[in-house]
Amino acid sequence: MITTDLRGLAEQAGRDLEGAHPADVLRWAAGTFESDLVLASSMGDEVLVHLAAATVPGIDVIFLDTGYHFAETLGTRDYYADFTSISLRTVLPLHTVAEQDAVHGARLHDRDPNLCCALRKVEPLERGLAPYTAWISGMRREDAPTRTDITVVGWDARRGKVKLNPLAAWTQADVDSYVAEHHVVLNPLRQAGYASIGCAPCTRAVAPGEDPRAGRWSGTSKTECGLHT
C-alpha cells in the first residue's frame, strides 16, 4: 500500500474509531496490518501490554533497553515476555553506557538529556520500527499538555507509518478500573509513587496531587523524550 493510501486509511480510521474501546482498535489494527503491526512498550504502560496480549495473541512488542532502566522495569518486561502471549524483542542502543560515556562524558543525561534520549531511545526506536507498517503506543490525552490532541489512529509523518494510540481517550480512572477488573501485573514502582516511569536517572516518584509527569526530568523544561515528537 502506498504512503498516500496509508495516510488516508489512518485518518479515516481515526475518525471512525474515535470512542471505540481500545480492544476494538487493536482488533482493527491486527486485521488490517497483520504481521506488519508492532507495539512499542517501555513497560510503564502495562495496561496496554496486557490488553494487547489478550486481544492480539502473539503480537510483536519491542522494548527499548536504554541501559538506564530500573530493575523493576526489566522485571516487568520479563514477566510479560514469559507469562503472556506477546512476542517480545528487546532493542539496544548502538553503544553501551560505558561506550557513550567514553565519547560524551559520564552522565550525559544530566548535561544534555535531549542528546541522551536521542541516542538511547529515539535511534533504537527507528531501527525497531523499520520492518513494520503500523505501530502502537500507550499515550493518553490526559498524560501531558503535549498529548491532548492525539488521535486513536493517526499518521506518523516523521516515520511514514500508521500510529495507533488505543488508550488515547482513557482517563486514569479507566486505567485503574481495567487493572482491578483484570488483575493486571503492574511495575512495582507504581506502589512507590512512580506515576510515569522512564530511565532511573531521570525519573522520580511524585507526591499526592502532583502532575503524573512531574517526576520525569524533574527540575528541567524537558517534557518529552522525543519518541512521540
Evaluate whether 60 touches 73 at the Cβ level (below 8 Å).
Answer: no
225 is catalytic: yes
* Mean pLDDT of the 123-146 span: 93
Evaluate whether 171 touches 187 at the Cβ level (below 8 Å).
Answer: no
pLDDT band at 123 (very low <50, low <70, confident <90, very high): very high
The 3-class SS string of 46-91 reads HHHHHHHHHHCCCCEEEEECCCCECHHHHHHHHHHHHHCCCEEEEE
| 86-104 confidence digits (pLDDT tens) | 999 999 999 999 999 999 9
pLDDT band at 220 (very low <50, low <70, confident <90, very high): confident
SS3 assignment, position 133: coil
pTM for the full predicted model? 0.92
Active-site pick, 116, 117, 202, 225: 225
SS3 assignment, position 166: coil
